[in-house]
Amino acid sequence: MNYDENFKEMEEKGFDWGQAVAEANRCLLCYDPPCSKGCPAETDPGTFIRKLRLKNVTGAVRTVKENNILGGSCGVLCPTPLLCELECSATEIDRPIQIGKIQRFLVEHAFKTGFKVFEKPAADKEKVAVVGSGPAGLSCAAELAKDGYRVTIFEAKAKPGGVLAYGVPSYRLSEDFFAEELKDITDLGVEIKCNTPVDKKGGVEKLLEEGFKAVFLAPGLWEPIRLNEKSREIDGVYTATEFLAALRNGKHEEFGKKIDGKSVAVIGGGSVAIDSVEASRRLNAKDVYLVYRRSFAQMPAEETERVEALQDGTQFLLLNQPVDYITENGKLRGLKLVRTKLGDKDSSGRRKPVEIPGSEWVLDADVVIEAIGSRAVEDSTDWYPSVKTNEKKYIVADKETGATSVKGIFAGGDIVRGPALVVEAVQDGKVAARAIKKYLRGEE
């Protein structure tokens, strides 16, 4: 059981030159491009598509990378039908321009041809610390380094990238592609210190005492939400975070043995749950169930992903709330469920699931993967005790600047927004970098 055998064919190929130009030629060249307004990171597709149409490829690459240092990864991972492509005027004629795919092509083209957008700047400005090397941290670091700030990223894990390195499956974002994009950032002079968590009491404030003139906090949300207290002790119950991280780090054989020929139930309705069912099928699970307490239409995962999972044979157990595990000698035997019906709307505006009394039943399962979200690490508020946080332990930061309650400490990404998107984390990094520069120039 290995990656090539089980997952290789799932890799989605990017556009080649002909396809990218043909797609760009469909663009209506809107005067005030709505697609650009639909991009949370101001990547400006209206401009890069126009440049590609005029065969100015290096100019197009420049637009992408100058606006979005992770433009390649975003091109692959952005839920474009909900963002830039949602606004595309070509939809009124037939279908939207495939903006994400064009963007990915441009960055891939630069990698293949060795075209570099940035020269290494002279690093002669103040030292700035970044905590966390996910998309928010990388984006902030790159923006600062481009202007000559000396940036050090402190990363708890062995590899940089956050969810891009430990969450998103390799068949969606290849390691080689991401490594190239990461190199664009380290080539700017950004230093990334891996295996270096900033997790001592007051460790973040201490960075300011150690000579860093500003800090950007982007540690993300890494505490998986569990179904119940028993989850972590049962043999056969895993979190999506550990499952996907293991696969991302080449442990196909190890997880393959646990899943091959088994009945697997994945709990959750988002993209992470879909990634988990796809991966389970690829590891030759006998049956794969997706258990979700609301309806199909209410699932947060993109419609195309949901439909593909259905077509590929995933059995959707909708309107079913998992309540407990059935075990035998510490080993998982089944998942206890109760049926639900949709009641009144909740605070999210969706009709909430209401349990139907007496409708409990047990789904036989050898493996359960919990993909029910993640939250801030329990003791994370101790890392930055003077920074204001909310009841969910998210950091409270100004939307326009990323400034926190402590002078010189800024924050962004999931730890501020809650679970969000790569492109939004990129934008938070950019916004905070602008504010940090102003702060260090004494302009705020």
Ligand X SMILES: Cc1cc2nc3c(=O)[nH]c(=O)nc-3n(C[C@H](O)[C@H](O)[C@H](O)COP(=O)(O)OP(=O)(O)OC[C@H]3O[C@@H](n4cnc5c(N)ncnc54)[C@H](O)[C@@H]3O)c2cc1C
Residues in contact with ligand X by the rule CB under 6 A: 77-78, 131-137, 154-157, 162-163, 167-168, 197-199, 218-220, 222, 244, 271-272, 275, 383, 413-414, 420-423, 425
Using a CB cutoff of 8 Å and minimum separation of 24, what contacts does 93-96 make?
93/28
Residues 80-99 that bind ligand SF4 (CB under 6 A): 80, 83-84, 99
Indicate which of ligand X, ligand SF4, none lies near residue 299 (CB less than 5 to 8 Å, by partner kind).
Answer: none
Indicate whether 73 belongs to the interface with ligand SF4 (CB under 6 A): no
364 strand-pairing partners: 334
Least Å from the CB of residue 344 to ligand X: 30
Contact region with ligand SF4 (CB under 6 A), list: 78-86, 116-124, 337-345, 383-391: 78-86
Look-up of token digits 């940035």? 118
Closest distance to ligand X from the beta carbon of 236 (Å): 21
Does 39 help bind ligand SF4 (rule: CB under 6 A)? yes
Instruction: Pick one of 61, 78, 215, 416: the residue that binds ligand SF4 (CB under 6 A).
Output: 78
Cα(382)–Cα(387) distance, rounded to whole angstroms? 9
Q: Would you state the structure tokens that stand for residue 41, as one six-digit string?
A: 């990171």
Long-range Cβ pairs for the range 387-393 (8 Å, 24+):
387/204, 387/217, 387/411, 392/418
> Choosing among ligand SF4, ligand X, none, which partner's interface includes residue 43 (Cβ < 5 to 8 Å by kind)?
ligand SF4
What's the closest the beta carbon of residue 22 comes to ligand SF4, in angstroms?
Answer: 18
Positive/negative CA dihedral, 278, 282, 283, 289: positive
Q: Which of 27, 74, 88, 136 binds ligand SF4 (CB under 6 A)?
A: 74
Q: Which stretch binds ligand SF4 (CB under 6 A): 67-75, 189-197, 346-354, 434-442?
A: 67-75
Among 33, 72, 75, 220, binds ligand SF4 (CB under 6 A): 75
Of 68, 263, 321, 374, the one binding ligand SF4 (CB under 6 A) is 68
List, edge to edge, every strand of the sheet that includes 351-364.
320-328, 331-345, 351-364
* 219 versus 334: smaller Cβ distance to ligand X: 219
Shortest spacing between CB 219 and ligand X, in angstroms? 3
The distance of closest approach from Cβ of residue 329 to ligand X in the complex, given in angstroms and rounded to an integer, is 31
Q: x-or-dash pattern for ligand SF4, window 100-129, by CB under 6 A?
A: x--x--------------------------
Task: Indicate which of ligand X, ligand SF4, none lies near residue 421 (CB less than 5 to 8 Å, by partner kind).
Answer: ligand X
User: Between residues 52 and 77, which has the closer beta carbon with respect to ligand X?
Assistant: 77
* Out of 423, 431, 432, 436, the residue judged to bind ligand SF4 by CB under 6 A: 423
The residue with tokens 């005067």 is: 31
Measured from the CB of residue 182, what is the shortest distance to ligand SF4 in angstroms? 17
Q: Is 52 or 78 the residue whose CB approaches ligand X more closely?
A: 78
136 touches ligand SF4 (CB under 6 A): no
Euclidean distance between the first and final Cα of the chain, in Å?
56
Q: Which stretch binds ligand SF4 (CB under 6 A): 37-45, 184-192, 259-267, 388-396?
A: 37-45
Q: Least separation, in Å, of the C-beta of 243 and ligand X?
A: 9
Residues in contact with ligand SF4 by the rule CB under 6 A: 39, 41, 43, 45, 68, 74-75, 78, 80, 83-84, 99-100, 103, 423
